[in-house]
Amino acid sequence: MEFTSILILFFFGLIGGFLSGLLGVGGGIIFVPIVTFFLKQLGIDGEELVKYVLANSFGTIFFAGVISTYKQKKFSSFYPKQIFLTASLAMITSFVVSYLITNQNWYSKRAFGILFLSLLVLTLIRFVIMKKGESIEVKDTKSYKYLITGFFTGIITALSGLGGGVVMIPLFTQYVKLNIKVAAAISIGSIPLIILPVLINYGIALPVEYINELQVGYILPHLIFPMVAGLVFAAPFGVAIAQKSSDKLLKIIFASLIVIVIFNTIGNLIK
């Protein structure tokens, strides 16, 4: 890989890592487009492109989640019970759906793009139209709501290549009634657990097209590691900024980011 490509990946790792720490979204809305771009440059297309994009987006998101969670714990913004409840069902549903994707060719590039775009649009609409309500303390929330959130998050995660934050944060803030900072902390803590079984699926799968002799299944370390290097620097900084930011500012940043990615995704679908 050329040095310029490594720098570009590192740069997007910085952006994705910062947003992961700031918003608790895992960074998938950054990693999916950039991973797609580089894989297309390598000549990968069709159903194989979808599998490679999902695998390497998940690989990067996993590290983003681990790094951000560690920093959240240092800030005493760590909620192990809620994280476990959310991740428990999500791990099962994400594993089942990712297994069906890696072992079949039913999930096309266009279907992936349309689903990815639809999720972003729905998330944006919910953020725009939702009314500001009273948030409640974590200790007063119902356990079953985390299980329900996790069930749907696992399915969407496996299908979209996102870490699940775009599903969890709206559900945590509107359904569970948490404030966005607590929602982000639980979301980012759940992401590595949700991603792990999916990564195992892609790591043991046998690709139709091989790109690099060092790849592990569909996972390409030479693509992931430059972004992870950026994550190491930026994710803790994002967490620190989030602790000092208002809920309103975080919501504006989250919505603005989604708008940018929506236009980028539409452009890719039109091509």
Between CA 240 and CA 252 the distance in angstroms is 18
Q: How far apart are CA 64 and CA 13, in angstroms?
A: 9
pTM score of the predicted model: 0.81
Task: Going residue by residue through the chain, which has 271 residues, state the pLDDT in tens, using 9 for 90 and above.
Answer: 788 999 999 999 999 888 888 877 777 778 888 999 999 988 888 888 888 998 999 899 898 888 888 877 776 678 999 999 999 999 999 888 888 877 777 666 677 778 778 877 877 787 676 666 667 888 889 999 999 999 988 888 887 776 677 778 888 888 888 888 888 889 888 989 999 988 998 999 989 889 888 899 999 999 999 999 998 888 888 888 888 888 788 878 878 877 877 887 787 677 6
DSSP letter at 42 equals T
Find tokens 């290549």 and name the residue.
Answer: 161
Contacts of 26 (CB under 8 A, 6+ apart): 20, 61, 64, 65, 162, 163, 164, 165, 187, 188, 191, 195
CA 209 to chain centre: 25
